[in-house]
Amino acid sequence: MQYYAVFAKYNLVLFNFDFMLKEERKQFILNEVRIHSRVLLTDLASLLKVSVDTVRRDIKELDKENKLKKVHGGAVSLGFDYYHIPSHQVYSIEKKAAIAEKAIHLLKDGQVILLSGGTTNLELAKRLPHKLHLTCFTPSLSIAIQLLSKKNVEVIFIGGRVSKDSQITVGGSAINMLSEIKVDLCFLGTNSIHPRDGLTEFDWEIVQLKKAMIHSSKKIISPSISEKLGSLQRYKICGPEEIDILITELEPWDSKLEPFKNLNIQLL
Amino acid sequence: MQYYAVFAKYNLVLFNFDFMLKEERKQFILNEVRIHSRVLLTDLASLLKVSVDTVRRDIKELDKENKLKKVHGGAVSLGFDYYHIPSHQVYSIEKKAAIAEKAIHLLKDGQVILLSGGTTNLELAKRLPHKLHLTCFTPSLSIAIQLLSKKNVEVIFIGGRVSKDSQITVGGSAINMLSEIKVDLCFLGTNSIHPRDGLTEFDWEIVQLKKAMIHSSKKIISPSISEKLGSLQRYKICGPEEIDILITELEPWDSKLEPFKNLNIQLL
DNA sequence: GCAAAAACAGCATAATACTGCACTTTTCAG
DNA sequence: CTGAAAAGTGCAGTATTATGCTGTTTTTGC
């Protein structure tokens, strides 16, 4: 439930209502989905103080209205990274948390970093130690908001047109801004990583943005849950040689990582 | 007991009449919906001292007139599809809601507008009708997120360093981006407005940003609750002559607005 | 495969919505 | 001013919806 801690103040107010209309509940659910990209039925039920069945019915309707995608155990936002990924990945929170913890060890006081969108990076943003001094560039609204609560992190938002699907800025203006910076590290969340073809994406605009991010960074770190290893999408972001560090939830010697050895990529 | 609870929750102004005409009732209902975004049939019935059936019929008509949306158990405002950000912790939420409603009437399809931060503008963002086609520039994270739920609104975020206090971007990069645009309208939320000294702020960086916003817009609209009228802060943003329209929750002929007449400012 | 979690189906209950009708008030032509 | 038509309101009975609960089936992770 730490998950909701940041927004606890909002939820509190919400419950000043004695009754909540169904419509309000649905709106609240959509809100949660938009902010967190994923929600669990059980969390929603306890937040809204209704039974899981009711939440399930609400989500079923919202799904039918094409406002979100219902998955086993919860719901995910439309068009986000999850869109075309098997639903079991919704449960990968623990894996992502493990990745985030490893990633934190790469950070040092005073560094300037770049965080792409995606839930793994969101997890990283949440878990940044409060005492760490950083300057973070990001094109993701949810990550920016998350980072605002870190006292010693300077947040610089990459402006431009905001894509409704992915909730990150895309387009020329963002790429332009990226062209003016050179950061120490870039945590490049990705949909697919392949030992031969490197990073790939299905959204053309996001590909352009990520390419620009790569050019703006001295070092590229790819946090990726093991399910994504070896998968491929339509458009190429960069070859495997561009990636400096690959972080998964696995141990570095795990056999699933075999294809990524001897590629001059550091495995964590 | 219950009566007083309800009384406290809604602000009832029209009880001078023993007896209310249907039109007055409908007007009252609309007002409640406008302020609270949602109402319950049962609450309205006890407030208006009529049967639930009557309220139901009223709401049915209002729904048919497209003034609100009827839902099981009550009604919600048409622009209800927004993130539920706490209304109680926001100061003077009802006045700000009234201002936002007036502001919406200034908007036309196809316009390009600039929204500064602040809760009044957040309220405006929430209440934008879904069918309105707009391009919105904003340096505020919460407003950007709010706007993402509006299907026909293109959101362009003004990037740069994000101020932790105000949760908006400030600094050179933001000002730079502003220098490249010229929008139709700018809704410039403000801390203080004075008939002689115009708009003032206490935060130097925000002053710089707002100055840039003024230069980037053909028309400046200042939404301001009446408490702020006549107040002053340390730094000046602009003189009163720069303001085109002043929107308050008051009627335009209210005596509190007297000092702002004859300044070539349109009062709404 | 197994155990746990989640989804589903069906049922019971309470709240809300609708319908028709009787009664009151308003409107308005003559 | 008057009376009839029209509009407005409340009520009772019925229909529909919303919700939680129980027991069963399916999915999931190991």
More confident residue, A192 or B72: B72
Which of B83, B91, B114 is best to mutate for the A interface (most A CBs within 10 A)? B83
Find the residue in B nearest to A167 (Cα). B148
CATH of B93-267, one of 3.50.50.60, 3.20.20.70, 3.10.580.10, 3.40.50.10470: 3.40.50.10470
Q: Give the residue among A189, A185, A178 at the shortest CA–CA distance from A121.
A: A189
Query: Cβ A31–B72 below 8 Å, yes or no?
Result: no
In chain A, % of residues over pLDDT 70: 86
Q: Does B181 touch chain A (CB under 8 A)?
A: no
Task: Map tokens 């406008």 to a residue.
Answer: B34
Query: How many CB atoms sit inside 10 A of residue B161's CB?
Result: 18
Q: In Å, how far are A2, A25, B9 from A49, measured between CA atoms?
A: 18, 10, 21
Query: Band of the pLDDT at A260, cuts 50, 70, 90?
Result: confident
Q: How many residues are recorded in chain B?
A: 268
Query: Band of the pLDDT at B220, cuts 50, 70, 90?
Result: very high
Query: Cβ B71–A23 below 8 Å, yes or no?
Result: yes
Terminal CA-CA length for chain B: 39
Task: Map tokens 């960086």 to a residue.
Answer: B205
Minimal Cα–Cα distance from A107 to chain B, Å? 20
Q: CA-to-C1' distance for B15 and D5, Å?
A: 32
Q: Give the residue among A213, A263, A225 at the shortest CA–CA distance from A243.
A: A263
Supply angle C-alpha A176, B132, B101, rounded to 5.
110
Query: How many CB atoms sit inside 10 A of residue B64's CB?
Result: 9
Terminal CA-CA length for chain A: 28
Listing DSSP states for B104-169 in one string gives: HTT--TTEEEEE-SSHHHHHHHHH--TT--EEEEESBHHHHHHHHT-TTEEEEE--EEEPTTT-BE
Query: Band of the pLDDT at A94, cuts 50, 70, 90?
Result: low
What is the predicted pLDDT for the residue at B187?
95
Q: Is the pLDDT of residue B72 over 80?
A: yes
Span B67-77, average pLDDT: 88
Would you call A133 exposed, middle or buried from its count of C-beta atoms within 10 A (0-12, 13-18, 19+)? middle
Q: Does A196 touch chain B (CB under 8 A)?
A: no
Residue A163: DSSP 8-state: P
Minimal Cα–Cα distance from B162 to chain A, Å? 5
Q: Give the residue among A147, A126, A151 at the shortest CA–CA distance from A138.
A: A147
Q: Does A181 touch chain B (CB under 8 A)?
A: no
Find the residue in B nearest to A150 (Cα). B164
Cβ of residue A25 lies below 7 Å from strand D: yes
Q: Give the residue among B131, B88, B81, B139 at the shortest CA–CA distance from B107.
A: B131
Cβ of residue A93 lies below 7 Å from strand D: no
Q: What is the fold, at CATH topology level, of the domain defined by A2-78?
A: Arc Repressor Mutant, subunit A (1.10.10)
Q: Which of A13, A21, A148 sits opposite B74 (nearest CB)?
A: A21
More confident residue, A85 or A6: A85
Q: Is A199 helix (H, G, I), strand (E, B) or coil?
A: strand
Q: Which nucleotides of C are covered by protein (CB under 7 A)?
A: 5-10, 15-20
Q: CA-to-C1' distance for A7 and D26, Å?
A: 34
Domain A91-267 homologous superfamily, CATH:
Translation initiation factor eif-2b; domain 2 (3.40.50.10470)
Q: Is the pLDDT of residue A8 over 70?
A: no
Give the domain ranges of chain A: 2-78, 91-267
What is the predicted pLDDT for the residue at B186?
96
Find the residue in B nearest to A174 (Cα). B159
Q: Is the pLDDT of residue B8 over 80?
A: no
Cβ neighbours of residue A99 closer than 8 Å, sequence gap 6 or more: A120, A123, A124, A223, A224, A225, A247, A248, A249
Q: Does B83 touch chain A (CB under 8 A)?
A: yes
Q: Which is it for strands B38-40 and B198-201: parallel, antiparallel or unpaired?
A: unpaired
More confident residue, A191 or A183: A183
Helices and strands counted in chain A (H then E): 9, 15
Find the residue in B nearest to A29 (Cα). B83
Q: Does B105 touch chain A (CB under 8 A)?
A: no
pLDDT digits (tens, 9 = 90+) for B177-193: 999 999 999 999 888 89
* CATH (residue range B2-80): 1.10.10.10
Cβ of residue A49 lies below 7 Å from strand C: no
Q: How many residues are recorded in chain A?
A: 268
- The H or E element that residue A69 is part of is strand A69-71
